[in-house]
Amino acid sequence: MPGLKDIRKKIGAVKSTRQITKAMKMVSAAKFRRSQGRMFELRPYADKMASVLADLSVSVDKEHPLLQERPRKKVEVLVFTGDRGLCGAFNTNIMKAATRLLKELSDKGLEITVSTIGKKGTDLFKRRKANIRKSWTGLSGKISYANAQEIAKDFIENYTSEVFDEVLIVYNQFKSPMVQKVTIAKLLPIAGLHSDEIISEDHSCNTNTPVKFEPSEQAVFDKLLPKNIEIQIYRALLESQASEEAARMAAMENATRNAEDLISQLTLQYNKARQAAITKELIDIVGGVEASK
């Protein structure tokens, strides 16, 4: 059995850990509230923009390069992870889903490249010798629209240059502070965004009615289609950020609760050891008295 001094040291160490996890939970809660607010503000705009463009793309000839669907030969997968750990299964779930997706695409004989957002995903795919085309790190906690514009510009240039024929994104969609859903969606070509997972069913356009474009169809799509890519990437960044902070907040709350349980167990063990030591001393004293008689 450990001595009293060893048990006191363990109790002190666990109390220090509890202070750290409690502080991290409070920090994550503050970051989560900010991320959640930004995400909820963007969602209606992102949904409506994608919905309207999806309807418009049905009613026109798909001559714009971002609308054209080519035979799938080369596929790019963009994976959203965090830069740091200590957030439960947030990163693990994303990387498992991405790994399964890459295997499915590989089994179909497609040429696959990977782009990553977040240090955790970058490190994993480097270890697995994946074909990483591009990586962005250091965005956690300081996401801006400029980040989405930079990422979107890279994908638009490479897609129109036919470096790849399709872009899929894998990210955590925020459902509630306790639930984050791993989502796989098509980013390019843009017609693929018309899905239940990231776009609402409220379509504002009637595709049976002829659509008149001002100043021209080409000018409208040249402006709005790249903007839509930026918005959808920005949304995925904010969804991922809110999910990460919610997962970290829950993980730190569980860690704090476990530390408190461990402190209670160690305190009980300490008291039992102390009582045993006192009892032993009393027995030695009584034994000595009896021996001196």
Beta strand pairing status for 132-136 and 179-188? unpaired
Look at residues 220, 156, 153 and name the one whose alpha carbon lies nearest to residue 188. Answer: 156
For the CA atoms of 12, 15, 16, 17, the dihedral, rounded to the nearest 10 degrees, stands at 120
Question: Is the Cα torsion angle 29, 33, 35, 36 positive or negative in sign?
Answer: positive
Cis peptide leading into residue 210 (ω within 30°): no
With helix as H, strand as E and coil as C, how does 253-264 read? HHHHHHHHHHHH
Angle at 136 between CA 130 and CA 138, to 5 degrees: 125
Please pick, among 14, 67, 87, 225, the residue that the annotation labels catalytic: 87
Q: How far apart are the first and last CA of the chain?
A: 34
Distance (Å, rounded) from C-alpha 142 to C-alpha 116? 17
Task: At 166, list the tokens.
Answer: 């399709």
Distance (Å, rounded) from C-alpha 259 to C-alpha 16? 9
For the CA atoms of 211, 212, 215, 220, the dihedral, rounded to the nearest 10 degrees, stands at 0
Distance (Å, rounded) from C-alpha 217 to C-alpha 195? 24
DSSP-assigned letter for residue 193 = G
Q: Is 205 a catalytic residue?
A: no
Question: Do 43 and 167 touch, CB atoms closer than 8 A?
Answer: no
190, exposed or middle or buried, with CB in 10 Å at 0-12, 13-18, 19+? buried
Q: Which residues are catalytic?
A: 87
